[in-house]
Amino acid sequence: MNKSADTEHDLNTLIKNRWSPRAFDPAAKVTKAELEALFEAARWAPSSNNSQPWRYLYGIRGDATFGKILENLKPNNARWAFRASALAVAVARTKKPDGTVEKTGQYDTGQASAYFSLQAQHRGLSVRQMAGFQPSIAEALAIPADYTPMAVIAIGGRGDAALLGDETLHAQEVSIRTRRPLAGIAHNGEWSADFEV
């Protein structure tokens, strides 16, 4: 299924063709080495003062960590994410060692996850990120209080939309990708009324 973005300007192929499926192939497997090759991309993201405030905990389908992450997803995500080859939790350092706020912790972690996702696309793997998880995921994975779980990332091979076995999910899977118009996110000048439409 090709869901190449209908762009207003020419785009790099990885960015143009990436999208976030829910239908993962339950037979597809990824190895630890293959996942490490994706985290290598996250590793090289930029960050404020090169602070690298991102951490990733991951499980491979069948292992205990995969089970713990899956258990802590909200039901509307768990019902499809169990087919992913791996699940990772993106964690941002939100407090510095001296107790002050790490202002760019979340922003920089988002960048690292973007690099991760595009590297996955480069390797022919798909990624879907979810904010829909239970706060209990922090305790389940022994994440310290100075760090905040930002997203769970499902990684795997794309499967047939029919796998989803649900009409609404199926419709979302095959729908065209949409975005705000360019004028709604970028403006040469100060704040634009188009930003709030």
Find the binding residues for its own copies in span 100-129 (CB under 8 A).
103-104, 106-115, 117-119, 122, 129
Q: Is 96 in the site for its own copies (CB under 8 A)?
A: no
Please say whether the beta carbons of 172 and 31 come within 8 A: no
Residue placing its CB nearer to its own copies in the complex, 70 or 112 = 112
- The DSSP bridge partners found for residue 23 are none
Tell me how far, at minimum, the Cβ of 74 lies from its own copies, in Å: 12
Angle at 161 between CA 172 and CA 31, to 5 degrees: 110
**178 Cβ contact list (under 8 Å, min separation 6):** none
Distance CA 19, CA 21 (A): 6
Tell me how far, at minimum, the Cβ of 59 lies from its own copies, in Å: 7
Q: Is 168 in the site for its own copies (CB under 8 A)?
A: no
Tell me how far, at minimum, the Cβ of 84 lies from its own copies, in Å: 15
By CB under 8 A, name the one of 25, 26, 29, 55 that touches its own copies: 55
